[in-house]
Amino acid sequence: MTKRLLIVEDDPGLQSQMRWCFSDDLEVAVADNREAAMAALRRHEPEVVTLDLGLPPDPGGASEGFALLDEILRLAPQTKVIVVTGREDKENAVKAIGMGASDFYQKPLDADILTFVVNRAFRLAELEQENQELNRQNNGANIKGIVAASPQMLTICRTLEKVAPTDVTTLITGETGTGKELLARALHDLSHRATKPFAAINCAAIPENLLESELFGYEKGAFTGATQSKKGKIESANGGTLFLDEIGDMPMPLQAKLLRFLQERLIDRVGSVNPIPVDVRVVCATHRDVRQLIDSGDFREDLYYRISEITLDVPSLRERDGDALVIAHSLLKSLGKQMERPNLTFSECAVRAINTYGWPGNVREMINKVKRATIMAEGKRVTASDLELEAPTSSGQDAINLRQVRETAERQAILQALQSSGFNMAQAARLLGVTRPTLYNLTDKYRIETSPEASSAG
Ligand SMILES: Nc1ncnc2c1ncn2[C@@H]1O[C@H](COP(=O)(O)OP(=O)(O)OP(=O)(O)O)[C@@H](O)[C@H]1O
Task: Indicate whether residue 327 lines ligand 1 (CB < 6 A).
Answer: yes
Task: Indicate whether residue 178 lines ligand 1 (CB < 6 A).
Answer: yes
CB 448 within 8 A of CB 415: yes
Ranges in the chain annotated CATH 3.40.50.300: 151-315
Q: How far apart are CA 383 and CA 351, in angstroms?
A: 9
Q: Which atom of ligand 1 approaches the CA of 183 most closely?
A: 18
Bridge-based pairing of strands 276-277 and 266-267 is: antiparallel
CB 329 within 8 A of CB 346: yes
Which residue has the least CA distance to atom 26 on ligand 1?
176
Ranges in the chain annotated CATH 1.10.8.60: 320-382
Task: Indicate whether residue 368 lines ligand 1 (CB < 6 A).
Answer: no
Task: Indicate whether residue 287 lines ligand 1 (CB < 6 A).
Answer: yes
The count of residues in the chain is 458
Which residue has the least CA distance to atom 10 on ligand 1?
179
Ranges in the chain annotated CATH 1.10.10: 402-457
Q: How far does CA 165 lie from the centroid of its chain?
A: 23
**Is CATH 3.40.50.2300 correct for 4-138?**
yes
Question: 320-382, what's its fold?
Answer: Helicase, Ruva Protein; domain 3 (1.10.8)
Question: 402-457, what's its fold?
Answer: Arc Repressor Mutant, subunit A (1.10.10)
Residue 21 DSSP symbol: H
Q: How confident is the prediction along the chain (458 residues), in pLDDT tens digits per residue? A: 689 999 999 999 999 999 888 877 789 999 999 999 999 998 888 999 999 999 999 888 899 999 999 999 888 878 999 999 987 788 999 999 999 999 999 988 898 999 999 999 999 998 888 776 665 555 566 788 899 988 899 999 999 999 999 999 999 999 999 999 999 999 999 999 999 999 999 999 998 889 999 999 999 887 888 889 899 999 999 999 999 999 999 999 999 999 999 999 999 999 988 999 999 999 999 999 999 999 999 999 999 999 999 999 999 999 998 889 889 999 999 999 999 988 788 887 888 899 899 999 999 999 999 999 999 988 888 889 999 998 776 554 444 456 667 777 888 888 888 878 878 898 888 888 888 889 988 888 887 777 765 444 33
pLDDT tens track for 410-455: 888 888 888 788 788 988 888 888 888 899 888 888 877 777 654 4
pTM comes to: 0.62
Q: How far apart are CA 235 and CA 419, in angstroms?
A: 44
Ranges in the chain annotated CATH 3.40.50.2300: 4-138
Largest CA distance in the chain: 100
Task: Indicate whether residue 364 lines ligand 1 (CB < 6 A).
Answer: yes
Determine the distance separating the centroid of ligand 1 and the alpha carbon of 142, expressed in angstroms.
Answer: 16
Could you give the ipTM of this predicted complex? 0.98
Task: Indicate whether residue 174 lines ligand 1 (CB < 6 A).
Answer: yes
Q: How far apart are CA 363 and CA 179, in angstroms?
A: 7
Determine the distance separating the centroid of ligand 1 and the alpha carbon of 180, expressed in angstroms.
Answer: 6
Q: How far does CA 63 lie from the centroid of its chain?
A: 43
Task: Indicate whether residue 363 lines ligand 1 (CB < 6 A).
Answer: yes
Task: Indicate whether residue 181 lines ligand 1 (CB < 6 A).
Answer: yes
CB 195 within 8 A of CB 161: no
- Dump the DSSP string for 327-368: HHHHHHHHHHHHTT-TT-EE-HHHHHHHHHS--TTHHHHHHH
CB 383 within 8 A of CB 376: no
151-315 belongs to which CATH class? alpha beta
Q: Give the Cβ contact number of residue 1 at 10 Å.
A: 7
